[in-house]
Amino acid sequence: MATKKMILDLDTGVDDALALAYAVADPNVDLIGIISSYGNTLVETAAQNSLNLLHLLGADDVPVFIGARHSSTTNQFEVMPISQMIHGKNGVGDVILEQSPRAVEKQSAVDFLIEAAHQYQENLIFIPTGPLTNLAAAIKKDSKVATLIGNTTLMGGALTVPGNVTPFTEANIHQDPEAADFAFTHQKNLTMVGLDVTLRTLLTKKETADWRLLNTKAGKVFADLMDFYIDAYDHLNINKNGAALHDPLAVAVGIDPSYVTTLPLAMHVTYNQENGDYGRTIGDKERLLEPTTSKVAVLVDAKRFVNDFQNLMLSVLK
């Protein structure tokens, strides 16, 4: 068993599925649990997607926990039409997955995260790839979480490029800017892997064709869901050269930070609706003189990452 333990917090859409596969495949970490969130799909659908994908990959031993069903400031959540266009109505490219024999855990996701933070401390890697509602809730329930977790690497935000929801705002942050601001201003050892770097990591149908050549059920399923994603990027004019590996890059950086060049920066998130920059991830001028405990990825070795990602996928999809 690897010394480093990993928890994924997924709103399981297509790139979350790839992040899950990456975490299962990498021998340098032990995936000890998945927290389900809302975003690309409803939280219950995300949880079942995770269970079914784990089953497909022969990792039924990994538990899945239900997290927040909506943001910290609303009472409900509805999937955005654009999310369904990109990820499919079921979150995984409308591919029908075999049902896992395992059910979601009865323990709450927040309590699971708190317990794991105390148990593993500096050896725990936490990777949120959706809204930061669960992380903020855990810190509010137990403030020690903010300093206990050894490495929090999130997929979200945009510092040097425009957002993908508004000119300032990236989708995961946009789901719950207040929770994101709380996490950014409290959580230590935090690295933001945002659109600045993820948009530079593209996968094409050349790679998914290699998955199909494995002639395995997992290879076909992952190729089908990723091809759906690549087609959506093309049809929606997001990128006609391929689809970005947003969430897998966050997992990779959590394990091996050398994939990216980071800028030490105390961050916060704006959430005043009247200012026109709702959900913006930006340096916090109020903390410029304080010690910096967070980093922002601004450059990525895309060629090395995509090559390593492909090799890991070929190993786990056999």
Catalytic residue among 9, 11, 196, 247: 11
CA distances from 205 to 4, 202, 208, 215 (A): 33, 10, 5, 16
Identify whether 246 is a catalytic site residue: yes
**d(C-alpha 50, C-alpha 56), whole Å:** 10
Catalytic residue among 87, 174, 246, 268: 246
CA distances from 316 to 127, 132, 134, 305 (A): 20, 28, 28, 16
**d(C-alpha 303, C-alpha 278), whole Å:** 33
Sheet of strand 29-36, all strands in order from the earlier edge strand to the far edge: 64-66, 29-36, 4-10, 124-128, 151-155, 190-193, 294-300, 260-264
**d(C-alpha 57, C-alpha 168), whole Å:** 37
Are 191 and 156 in contact by the 8 Å Cβ rule? The answer is no
Strand partners, 294: 190
Identify whether 11 is a catalytic site residue: yes
Active site residues: 11, 246
